[in-house]
Amino acid sequence: MEPAGIGSTLLLWGMGLAGHQNVPAALLAVPWSKPENPTEKYFAPILTGLWAISVTGQNDKATLDALIARLGESTDPDWLQSQIIGTLTAITDQRFAYNIDAWRDWWQANRATWRP
């Protein structure tokens, strides 16, 4: 991993531990580019960002927009999509599991009145 990735990951981890709800939504749009490894273990900023969003309850519109937009991304491994869905479930209390259309429909219907 590049030094910048390590630094970002550690910063996001610290933010989560401290309860800071400032994970940048732009981080959630970065395409997954890590090569597969046999153990499926990765040290990547997006994973730590998803964790920090979940533990801090960061559920502002920009974060939800980015997470909903990321659903169904064809370059993402299935387990990353699962992490995104888990994060959405944790911060919205909605239970649509892997039904991407239901997530999108819910957000379209609720975005205008959403209050974190």
80-to-51, 101, 106 alpha-carbon distances in Å:
12, 18, 21
- pLDDT of amino acid 1: 56
Token pair listed for 107: 């957000």
DSSP state letter for 76: S
- pLDDT of amino acid 113: 97
- pLDDT of amino acid 2: 65
* pLDDT lower than 70: segments of the chain: 1-4, 40
The full set of domain ranges for the chain reads: 1-17+44-56, 58-116
CA dihedral sign of residues 4, 14, 47, 67? negative
